Amino acid sequence: MDLQDLFHFSETFALDGVEDPYVVVARRPAESVLGLRLTLALIQVSNLEWLSICASLCARDRSRAMAPEAATKLFGAPDFYMENGECLTDCMLPLIAMPSSPAELHTVYKYIRPDLARNLVARLQEPLAKCGSVLAMHQTVLEDMIITRLDDLIPEVAATCNDTLRFKFVSELR
């Protein structure tokens, strides 16, 4: 067990122009790594735009981008593509359709939160297992990390309402 395992430090790498780093979640012999980055994104599902959790995966070999075919072969995840010189794929969870608010988003998130991290880790493990890869950290550590990150991304926000119920002329408000 090395120092990272002992203290649950996670190894990360950053991409140019991307604010948050990718956390290494899988590793293959040599220096091929699979990084995970969680964000919120708007995606089109049927005719609606859904606010979704996006688990972006980035495959790298010796700190360089990997070819999509090689990434699929090593890590099993489907649909790798090249974007800005990086080998990426996305795993999505639509949460709430627009129009919606941050408060409603948090309500939905709170409802599915208990199963969410476990399901995402299972989804990541599925293709890894097929090609003989394993997670780079303990499953529970990864689940904790995912939940911590998602809690930051989707904070509890209450709607700001007015309960004075008094009309005012525009000039009085400005």
Partner 1 sequence: MNIQQLFQFPETYSGREGGLPHLIVARHSSGASLALRLTLNLFAVVDSTWVSILASFCARNRDHQPLDLATCAKIFSAFDFNMFERECLAEGVLPLVAMPCSPGEVRTVYESMRCNIVRNLATDLEWRIERSGLSLAISRSLLKKLIAFRLNDQFPAVPVTSNDIPSFLFSFNRADLRHNQKERERMMVTSQATQELLDQHIAKIETFNSLRRK
- In the complex, what is the shortest distance from the CB of residue 88 to partner 1, in angstroms, rounded to a whole number? 9
Q: Is 16 in the site for partner 1 (CB under 8 A)?
A: no
Task: Give yes or no for a contact between 11 and 23, defined as CB atoms under 8 angstroms apart.
Answer: yes
78 and 90 in contact (C-beta within 8 Å)?
no
The whole-angstrom separation of Cα 134 and Cα 149 is 22
Considering only the stretches 27-35, 66-74, 95-103, 134-142, report the one whose residues sit in contact with partner 1 under the rule CB under 8 A.
95-103
Residue 84 in contact with residue 116, Cβ under 8 Å? no
Dihedral in degrees, nearest 10, Cα atoms 12, 17, 18, 22: -20
In whole angstroms, how close is the CB of 6 to partner 1 at the nearest point? 29
Does position 50 interact with partner 1 (CB under 8 A)? The reply is yes
Scan for tokens 């989804």, then name that residue: 123
Nearer CB in complex with partner 1: 24/146: 146
Nearer to partner 1, 9 or 81 (CB): 81
Residue 29 buriedness (CB in 10 A; 0-12 / 13-18 / 19+): exposed
Residues numbered 104 to 143 that lie near partner 1 (CB under 8 A) are: 104-105, 108, 111-112, 115-116, 119-120, 123
Q: What residue ranges bind partner 1 (CB under 8 A)?
A: 18-20, 39-44, 48-51, 53-56, 77-79, 81, 89-105, 108, 111-112, 115-116, 119-120, 123, 152-153, 157, 159-163, 165-173
